[in-house]
Chains A and B, each alone.
Chain A
Amino acid sequence: MKGIKPVTRKELYHILRDPKSLIIIFIMPIFMIFIYGYAISFDLNNINIGIIDYSKSDLSEKLQGKFLNNKYFKLAGPKADDNRSIESYEKLLKSGELDEIMIIPGDFSEKVKKGTPVDIGFIIDGSDSNTANIIYQYDEMILMAFIEDHQNIRDMLNISTKIYFNPELKSAYFFIPGINAILLMMISALLTSLSMSREKESGSIDLIFISPIKSYEIIIGKTIAYIFVSFLVEALILLFSNFWFGLPIRGDILTLFFFSLIFIFTGLSLGIMISMVAPDQKTAMLATLLATMLPSIMLSGFIFPITSLGKVLRVISSIIPATYFLKIIRGVVLKGASFSEFVTDGAILILMSIILIAVAAKKFSKMRKVAG
């Protein structure tokens, strides 16, 4: 075990004195979070809504007002009292001038007053399912608010949808924990894969190989150094998300840190595994990005819900470490979920790490025993 300390120290010195690496490790996450939190926004403003009001009552006007007096909806198409046919509105939906049509039935006011249930019609442009989904959720949100305003009609509108955890549907809240998981996986894997392949490329590995240090001491030494660095990155990401985007951490921060450490360990192990196969730094970098970025973004539930994936993809999703950490971080950060809910996910991550590092260590000693 004596060999671990010098390796850890050497790695830390090396990384902390390398401005290029530091920029990648510490600036890139901020940059990515900035992009995902801000620029790539799923938040929709100015949804073009066409309103057909057959009721033309005080109450229906109030409902119209509820829809239009916010940043989300903008009245488009013919004027509400123009008495145009639904078909003419549909045409506008087709041409893209309208995103949505709301139809208030003629008996809206009467039915509400009488206390009978009433339906309000919405026709949404579904060509972009994601947008349609959001519009639908906004509709529900505004109808809910309308009901809140008119306590007496509470039982008349059959809306039972509620949005938990992210009621304002802020896409930043949805994206940031996700991008956090992906960044952490990518950076931790990059750190070890580049470090090991750098030793291969420079030839320093030869000097290590002929020294009496044990192979596992090298791997553990490097892992310890980069657990430290990756953990700093995670802390930075959380701080930035909190201060800049107001991302709340509703659960226990220690729980989050604990699982972050496990996830970092998985990432580092993956990086070591990759560096065993990659001959140089360039290959290691490309392989690491491919192995972490793409599957993590597409298949971890970051953007597409896992339930919407096909059978084969779901199996692949289940072997992606980010899938588990994403569940944990969204759970702890947004839902305030507790430690005990993620024991299985944590165990799976640990198992993955152990398998990866065992295979890597075996390959490493094989590489070392090359002569004879």
Chain B
Amino acid sequence: MEPTDSMNDNIIEVKNLTKKFGNFTAVNSINFVVKRGEILGFLGPNGAGKTTTIKMIIGLLRITEGKVIVDGMESGKFRKRIKEKLGYMSQKFSLYPKLSARENVEFFAGISGLGRVEISKKIDELSRIIRKDLIDHSVDKLPPGIKQKVALFTSLIPKPEILLLDEPTSGVDPEMRRNFWQDIYSLKKEGKTILVTTHNLDEVEYADRIVILHRGNIIVEGEPAQLVRQHGVDSVETLFKEAVKKDERN
């Protein structure tokens, strides 16, 4: 049993987490924590194992070895209760393209068990977030930034304490990206914990702490500013490149 204060501090604890696909080790016995109320940036090049890790945390992928503890509950034993705490925005799929923003929200609210009154409340909220005339456009005709907002909105429908965002800003222009991060910030202010993966290094400054994953291993972990100072580099980007290079030499 973990000490109580650590249970309160660390809302997610990942211990010796390993995922093997046949002979290929996608995630190699990694350890890290996500602190309650923080934004953790999960960085790494494509194929580093970010999505695999997130999917194991959320329970969409079988864990080969190790464990994930969410708010003091081990993932294998409390799957249902853990799910209630997690919101997920997937890199691969966020919204049904042929449905409008409104219909997507209605669907996700419906399968989350919301009643009719609650659903229409959600639609009201949605109309405050995006322009009213866009609400009934089919999603595949919406600009990426708007889509992003709607996707984030739907992932918040179950009122999760923790948000797992997998590459939420890929394919979105810098302006929209800044907007998006503002939204993430206000969510943090509401007390939500956010784990966000990205391969855009200019986004690192937004995170309270970062974890850099490369080929299934954690190669850097810490607060961005502190890391830059420690390693005597000019930016996290340089740090990232050097760390990846160093890891590849080993």
A contact residues vs B (CB 8 Å cutoff):
2-3, 5-7, 9-10, 13-14, 17-18, 202-204, 206-213, 217, 369-372
Query: Which range contains the number of B residues in contact with the other chain?
Result: 35 or more
A371 and B79 in contact (CB under 8 A), knowing A203-B93, A211-B112, A212-B112? yes
What CA separation (Å) do A207 and B62 show in the bound complex? 16
A18 and B88 in contact (CB under 8 A), knowing A202-B93, A207-B108? no
Nearest Cβ on chain B to A369's Cβ, whole angstroms: 8
A207 and B113 in contact (CB under 8 A), knowing A10-B96, A18-B98? no
Complex contact B98–A14 (CB within 8 A): yes
Nearest Cβ on chain A to B166's Cβ, whole angstroms: 10
Nearest Cβ on chain B to A15's Cβ, whole angstroms: 9
Complex contact B93–A371 (CB within 8 A): no
Interface of A is mostly: helix
* A and B contact pairs by CB, cutoff 8 A, 13 listed: A2-B115, A3-B113, A7-B111, A9-B106, A13-B103, A204-B96, A206-B60, A206-B88, A212-B83, A213-B111, A371-B58, A372-B76, A372-B77
Which residues of chain B come closer than 8 Å to A13, judged between CB atoms? Answer: 98-99, 103
Number of A-B contacts (CB under 8 A): 94
Quick one: which of B59-118 are within 8 Å of A by CB?
59-63, 75-77, 79-80, 83-84, 86, 88, 90, 92-93, 96, 98-99, 103, 106-113, 115
What CA separation (Å) do A371 and B110 show in the bound complex? 24
Contact with A along B218-248 (1 / 0, CB 8 A): 0000000000000000000000000000000
- Residue from A17, A207, A370, A372 in contact with B93 in the complex, judged by beta carbons closer than 8 Å: A207
Which residues of chain B come closer than 8 Å to A9, judged between CB atoms? Answer: 103, 106-107, 110
A371 and B99 in contact (CB under 8 A), knowing A10-B107, A17-B138, A203-B90? no
Which residues of chain A come closer than 8 Å to B107, judged between CB atoms? Answer: 6-7, 9-10
Nearest Cβ on chain B to A302's Cβ, whole angstroms: 35
What CA separation (Å) do A17 and B100 show in the bound complex? 11
Which residues of chain B come closer than 8 Å to A212, judged between CB atoms? Answer: 80, 83-84, 111-113, 158
- Residue from B61, B84, B103 in contact with A370 in the complex, judged by beta carbons closer than 8 Å: B61
Which residues of chain A come closer than 8 Å to B61, judged between CB atoms? Answer: 370-371
Complex contact A207–B88 (CB within 8 A): yes
Which residues of chain B come closer than 8 Å to A202, judged between CB atoms? Answer: 92-93
- Residue from B88, B93, B106 in contact with A6 in the complex, judged by beta carbons closer than 8 Å: B106
What CA separation (Å) do A369 and B59 show in the bound complex? 8
Nearest Cβ on chain A to B121's Cβ, whole angstroms: 16
